[in-house]
Amino acid sequence: MTADEFLATCWTTAGDAAPDEEDQRSPLNLRERVDAAREAGFTGFGLLYADLVEAEREYGLAGIRSLFEDNGISHVELELLTDWWADGPRRTASDAVRSGLLRAVEALGARTLKIGPDVADEPWDLDVWAKEFATLAAQADGVGARLGIEFLPWSNLKTVHDGLRLVEAAGHPAGGLIIDVWHTERAHTPPADLADVPGSRIVGVELNDADSQMVGTLFEDTVHRRRLCGEGSFDLPGIITALRTAGWNGPWGVEILSDTHRALPVREAAAAAYRSAATLVK
């Protein structure tokens, strides 16, 4: 890439919707969200599976792809697959979502498929998880995308080190990590550790900020109180430098989750998210 590009992750343009709600669908029309992202300067766009289903009903996958292309969106990220390691009814439901996501990845030319860890933090077997991850990475690779798992400090994969252990055990070149700086900071991971992550294992990066003091649980704090880049306590210049040292050059995801951000008109929210990140990534 010759210049820094930025990706509006799914929650950044979702309006009044959040991960802690039973119905996570955005109340906003996809065209309105994409228009807002384009006007702000984003060339990447993230979409939650629930919103993808709604958008496909309205536009069809070909229509969604045209909407992205017409607005200069060159990097599409789809999320979020969970229970991909499970069995029984949970796995059956997960596999249905997996099929839909893989179909959409191929139709939209998406570059990234994002998955999650076990937020219940139950006992798990690395060998089983590595095998399942490798299978899923191969499926993503088969439709032209990379598979990224996002580690979370309240899950079974709490740190970048835990995530890297899994993807290295899986061994598939299409598999890697989504590094959200909120999670590295709340897990007290120093920026120097990020510089040591193999560049080939970084699938995506998400920038944001937060106050030094957490309020409520980790999940409550990350959903309700994130701040725009540069408005909190994170050493974002140091983190960005470390990620560049590791080999990352974008697109830089911007993921803002907060009650304040959700209350803004989507164009204002997208513009603020883009401007705050672009000011720091130089």
Q: What is the mean pLDDT of each run of 10 residues along the chain (282 residues)?
A: 86 97 96 98 98 98 98 98 98 98 98 98 97 98 98 98 98 98 98 98 98 97 98 98 96 98 98 98 88
Residue 165 to residue 88: CA distance in whole angstroms: 26
Tens digit of each residue's pLDDT (9 = 90 or more) over 108-147: 999 999 999 999 999 999 999 999 999 999 999 999 999 9
Residue that is written with structure tokens 């509006």 in the block: 8
- CA dist 273 and 44 (Å) reads 13
User: Following CA atoms 32, 38, 44, 49 in sequence, which dihedral angle do they give, to the nearest 10 degrees?
Assistant: 0
d(CA 132, CA 109): 23
- The predicted model scores a pTM of 0.97
| 271 token code pair | 């513009």
Distance CA 265, CA 84 (A): 35
Out of 3.40.50.300, 3.30.500.10, 3.20.20.150, 3.40.50.10140, which CATH number does the structure's domain 6-280 have?
3.20.20.150
Strand, helix or coil for residue 61:
helix
At residue 36, the 3 state secondary structure works out as: helix
Contact between 50 and 21 under an 8 Å Cβ cutoff? The reply is: no
pLDDT of the residue at 1: 42
Query: Is the CB of residue 225 less than 8 Å from the CB of residue 210?
Result: yes
Domain ranges of the chain: 6-280
